[in-house]
Amino acid sequence: MTEDKIRAFILNACYEDSISYKKQINQTTMKKIEVKNDSLYWSYIVELFIITLKSIMPSAEIVGCKIDYKRFNEELGVWRNYRNGYNKPLLNMFESYYDISYWQEKDDSVYSRMIPIIFTNTNWEIIKEELIKNIFYTTGNISNLIEVVTLSKILYIILNNKYNRNYEDIIGDIKEEIIHLSQKDILNKYGQYYKCDVSTYPGNYTIDFERMRIEILNVLNGIGKSKNYKVLINTLEILEKEEVDFGNIEYNFFVNGLVGLLNGYTEDKEFKGKGFINSLCTYIIKLRKGRISPETLKINKYILPDIFKFNVGEEFFHSLLNKCKVLKKIEDGLYIVSYIKTKSGIYRFFKLKSS
């Protein structure tokens, strides 16, 4: 069933993210204020999956769901102070300007942000439109864009049981999608969503787009390897081969989610927050089936108090976190750290004392 596939994908992706993040945690520059190693927490990859899902609204005009960017932007503003891990394109959003890195830096959070968009919609054209707008929100990297569109179409095909997982038929469909992915259409239809004017692109956008498009078609045709499309290459390997050595595959939210979808999720895989993630799976399925009214999700007035002004034991309301209570507040070196209990779990908020 589609519902089982969605749940297996998300649970396995989040579980593997927890494992991966635990391995990295001692090497982070935020080591002193990170979570303890005896618990499994997820990274910003899962956090952005959740934020994207929380920002999705059922449309009143079409049969489908779209992202509310007022909500998305406010969610990211709060995320800045509870994030786990480091992502340059995401943090660049909080600067007053964008530089050349907007075009050059890849954003690995797009591999989790794409999932709520795909799973809450059944129409491919709506999915593609929402994907492109959301990618441009944090990066203008061409290969990032083309790879995410390709991966999304693969997942859409598998989720809807098209071609009964016949590899050659899937690849044929994907190649048609990429052949018709025109940079002219991208610029005309979605150019307004870039954070920088295309004139600031460091090179010839048209030539580079065509080069990246040909490169991914070569990957789909099995011609050579590409450092620009590693996630796609791993995905194709999983789809094509009956037996895959998953131990040699580098962690990626999409790839590990796909493994869960194809092989099933093992219930004995435990990670902190699993119950919450399971509830999000149920929520996604309801959105997909059109069972949630947009009026129940709409925030008419945002109440976003300064979390750091509250002391231990105090309770307050926050539009994005709902009812909150301060469990612990400490000053750790250069940082102020507050642990906030919410309905969805305990958040560790931090900021520089000087900010």
In order along its 355 residues, the chain shows pLDDT tens digits of 899 999 999 999 999 999 888 877 755 544 444 444 444 479 999 999 999 999 999 998 888 999 999 999 999 999 999 999 888 899 888 876 677 899 999 999 999 999 999 999 999 999 999 999 999 999 999 999 999 999 999 999 999 988 788 999 999 999 999 999 999 999 999 999 999 999 999 999 999 999 999 999 999 999 878 899 999 999 999 998 766 666 667 789 999 999 999 888 777 788 888 999 999 999 999 999 999 999 999 999 999 999 999 999 999 999 999 999 999 999 878 899 999 999 888 999 999 987 7
User: Which pLDDT belongs to residue 35?
Assistant: 46
- Are 307 and 219 part of one and the same domain? no
Distance CA(62)–CA(189), nearest Å, equals 18
Distance CA(40)–CA(345), nearest Å, equals 13
Cβ distance 5 to 27 under 8 Å? no
* Residue recorded with tokens 């940082």: 335
User: Which pLDDT belongs to residue 39?
Assistant: 44
- Are 313 and 288 part of one and the same domain? no
Q: Which tokens is 287 given?
A: 């959105």
Residue 251 CB contacts under 8 Å (≥ 6 apart), including other chains = 16, 17, 19, 20
Distance CA(13)–CA(256), nearest Å, equals 5
- Are 179 and 318 part of one and the same domain? no
Residue 77 lies in domain: 2-298
- Are 262 and 336 part of one and the same domain? no
Q: Which tokens is 112 given?
A: 């989790």
- Are 148 and 210 part of one and the same domain? yes
Please identify, among 298, 327, 343, the residue that sits at the C-terminal boundary of a domain.
298
- Are 329 and 273 part of one and the same domain? no
Q: Write out the E strands in 262-352.
A: 315-318, 322-332, 335-342, 345-352
- Are 311 and 251 part of one and the same domain? no
Total structural domains in the chain? 2
pTM for this model (two decimals): 0.93
* Residue recorded with tokens 């991208």: 186
Distance CA(251)–CA(173), nearest Å, equals 26
Q: What CATH number is associated with residue 174?
A: 1.10.4080.10
C-alpha distances in angstroms, 227 versus 75, 100, 153?
A: 32, 21, 21
- Are 212 and 352 part of one and the same domain? no
DSSP helix/strand/coil, 347 = strand
